[in-house]
Amino acid sequence: MSQKRPKHLALWQIRLPLPGIVSILHRISGLLMFVAIPAMLYALEGTLSSAERFEAFRSCISNPIVKIGLLAVLWGFLHHACAGTRFLFLDVHKGLDLPTARLTAKIVLVVSLLLTVVIGVLAW
């Protein structure tokens, strides 16, 4: 090879297309749910075990920082569901052409954020 190859990968200089961003966010949302769902199930189990733990749970989720974290988990669930549906269609070879793939990636982002806002406002 006569070309000098870079010694490091400059991640901040890489421009990833929107379908690639949706794919990475799908993985991140899956990891977020993998971590958050057991913790949320443990908290739910605690609320069902005694009145004291239920009151402790209520006081915990009244904290705005905890509410923002719960909104992040809600977004993760909704994004993962929307992107997963998109990937199921891609697996059966529907929407593989570039304009459709870009459009469905935009739809996934908009729908997941819109649903997060609507459900978050209703639950806040």
pTM: 0.85
For the CA atoms of 121, 30, 82, 94, the dihedral, rounded to the nearest 10 degrees, stands at 170
Element (H, E) at 94: none
Given this model, what pLDDT does residue 2 score? Answer: 65
Provide CATH code, domain 18-123.
1.20.1300.10
The contacts of residue 57 (CB under 8 Å, 6+ apart) are 43, 46, 47
Q: Distance between CA 116 and CA 36 in Å, rounded?
A: 16
pLDDT digits (tens, 9 = 90+) for 31-41: 999 999 999 99
Mean pLDDT value of segment 111-117: 97
Q: Would you give the distance in Å from CA 15 to the centre of its chain?
A: 21
